[in-house]
Structure 1
Amino acid sequence: MKPVRWGVLGNAKFAREHMAPAIHMAENAVLAALGTSSPGSATGWDFCPGLAQMTYDDLLADPAIDAVYIPLPNHIHVEWTLKALAAGKHVLTEKPIAMTATEIDTIIAERDRTGLLAAEAYMIVHHPQWIRARELVQGGAIGRLRHVDTFFAYNNADQTHNIRNRPETGGGGIRDIGVYTYGSARFVTGAEATDISCRMIRENGVDVWAELDAILEGPLGRATYTAMTSMRLQNRQEVTFHGDKGLLKVANGPFNANLFAEARIELHVDQTITSERWPAANHYKLQVENFGASIRTGAAYPCPLEFTRGTQVMIDQAFATAREINW
């Protein structure tokens, strides 16, 4: 299979530390170029000798580049995703790919017009722990699903210039990590959320704490759902799928697999706990390889824009129904 030649738009720390190394390691990919506002000045890319540095526009115009990864600030994701598609590039854009579901409709239309692959970089669905969680829950391992709760928190209160703390760059906890809490529940259960309501705390125009309550309706029936996100609490990541005969926990930092400890799921049935572990799986690398396989073989991509749109609808509803409270 001919490898996909990738370019990265933007010298983002996350790109340098996670996605660019994953592209470099992926079996069907070549990291070929970096687009920056000041070509030649980017540092920290020594893991990829010979990486060409050029402007954003020159990278998109380069016929040797097949696909681009976009880790730019949230509020310009749509603009550059559409530019990449118009330039004939497949595009993988960091989450959230857009600010509203309507904007995702625009990207879907351009994807369909060009016949290119466009997707949000929602990496967890590529990890075997989440694929296995879906198999167990949908296979009846916990009986009838009754409740799902998801929690993702970190504290960046001292990072006042961080784009997540700035409203003008599309910041806020829900747009940063609600993608994971909301999307993971949808991925595992195959359900969509209804009856959404949200309580929210804002600072400087961005949500720093939010609790979303909803009903999940899908092939497993109806279940209650609670999701917590915060940028002002001690690190915490937990996901539990609770049935009438057991519960399943996606453990050890489920959204940052192998960062805190090895990726693990726990199945609790009666007094028995069964664990499965994946100490070496890299969901960023798997994401790149799945993206490349879809380009080269036409294989269905595990996280199409239609799935991404469903999560964005939940995000839109969280803001639309938000009732602001104070600490």
Structure 2
Amino acid sequence: MGARMTQIRWGILGASKFAREHMGPAIHAAKGAVLAAVASRTPQSVAPFKDFAAGCRAVMGYDALIADPDIDAIYIPLPHHMHVEWTVKALNAGKHVLAEKPIAMQADDFDRLIAARDASGLLAAEAYMIVHHPQWQRARQMVADGAIGRVIHITGGFSYDNSDDPQNIRNQAATGGGGMRDIGVYVLGSARYVMGADLENISAKIRWESGFDTFASMQGNMGEATYSAYVSTRMHPHQEMVFHGSEGLLRLTAPFNANIFGEARIELHQPNLGLRVEKFPAANHYVNQVEAFGHSIRNGAAYPWTLEQARGTQEAIDTVLAIGTDLT
């Protein structure tokens, strides 16, 4: 990649709250990365980024950022429905791209993303940060090693309540709102990551509000295991994933917002009330994600979450939304 790629110079497309609070600081903290610029229509909105990354430049407009010769990689935290368009534009402009999840609104959109990635020879990926967290890497290894025997059933849940924020993009059908597109990627993608299998024989129930889902429960099969999960944007905050096997049970207590929702822990429940707990207090999956992305760019290493893997999750989301029985 040449000497200039020893430090990957990142630009962020839009001065979003999430970028300001999580991914901006993660890019700044990651080894081999520098937060070089943030694009915004209002330069003053870039000022908070300069508080932790003094050298960060304000760039007027998204097109200007992806055309900037001093930027190597683009991070996209825009509303869901804008991800595909700007990922393709950035790839065509010669930039590597990390776009927030869900990177696409429907599985068919991945055709454009994969074609643009392959034509450019650049790295394009969904910012599915949990696969970069050691608790999930450990959970996958434990299941593969037979720590709980044969996996028989998987359960998951992820909920929060944003009913008091009607202007939120997650409460707008036009911007890809709803629980399945926002957090369905977690209960589905995490289980697919551990099991190495897709969700099949899907059935679902959905509660709709103004054209987007506020509750969805889904069932099916994942490999030889059965699967049951729910997501909601109208329930008390909760998150948990459980892999129940023939010889034990694996429970992740803060699987998606580690050390924000709660302490990142894996509980291995074993026979005769045996319990082994592993904790991950220092891990930051956002920093890990940036460093893994840079490692793939510099060394050609396989990235832990490909567009093809992301597509598998989106296919399940599409199916749930299409076939779900209406609870409204």
Give the alignment's TM-score, normalised by structure 1. 0.97
Q: Which runs of 4+ in 1 moved over 4 A?
A: none
SS of corresponding position for 2:26: helix
Partners of 2:217 and 2:89 lie apart in 1 by 35
Check if 1:120 corresponds to 2:129: no
CA RMSD of superposed structures (Å): 0.9
SS of corresponding position for 1:42: helix
Partners of 2:48 and 2:42 lie apart in 1 by 15
1:146 to 152, 155, 163: 152
1:39 to 24, 38, 43: 43
Check if 1:310 corresponds to 2:316: no
1:11-22 correspondence runs (5 A): 11-22=15-26
* Residues 15 and 45 in structure 2, CA contact (< 8 A), matched pair in contact too: no
SS of corresponding position for 2:256: coil
SS of corresponding position for 2:204: strand
SS of corresponding position for 2:192: helix
Q: What is the Cα deviation at residue 320 of structure 1?
A: 1.6
Partners of 2:45 and 2:139 lie apart in 1 by 43
1:1-327 correspondence runs (5 A): 2-45=6-49, 46-54=51-59, 55-217=61-223, 222-251=224-253, 253-270=254-271, 271-326=273-328
Amino acid at match of 2:269: H
Give the alignment's TM-score, normalised by structure 2. 0.96
**For each residue in 1:238-270, what CA deviation from the matched residue of structure 2 results, as whole angstroms up to 9, or x when unmatched?**
10000111100011x210011133211000011
* Residues 215 and 233 in structure 2, CA contact (< 8 A), matched pair in contact too: yes
* Residues 8 and 34 in structure 2, CA contact (< 8 A), matched pair in contact too: yes
Amino acid at match of 2:324: A
Gap runs ≥5 in structure 1: none
Deviates more, 1:63-72 or 1:50-59: 50-59
Q: What is the Cα deviation at residue 3 of structure 1?
A: 1.2
Partners of 2:119 and 2:64 lie apart in 1 by 23
SS of corresponding position for 2:52: coil
Amino acid at match of 2:11: G
**For each residue in 1:260-317, what CA deviation from the matched residue of structure 2 results, as whole angstroms up to 9, or x when unmatched?**
3321100001110001111000000000000000001101100111110010110111
Q: What is the Cα deviation at residue 48 of structure 1?
A: 1.1
SS of corresponding position for 1:81: helix
| CA separation of 1:248 and 1:65: change in aligned 2, threshold 3 A | same
Q: What is the Cα deviation at residue 38 of structure 1?
A: 2.4
Amino acid at match of 1:36: S
Identity of aligned residues (%): 57
Q: What is the Cα deviation at residue 40 of structure 1?
A: 4.2
**For each residue in 1:23-54, what CA deviation from the matched residue of structure 2 results, as whole angstroms up to 9, or x when unmatched?**
00001100000011223443422111121111
Q: What is the Cα deviation at residue 103 of structure 1?
A: 0.3
Partners of 2:195 and 2:265 lie apart in 1 by 18
Gap runs ≥5 in structure 2: none
SS of corresponding position for 1:249: strand
Amino acid at match of 2:283: A
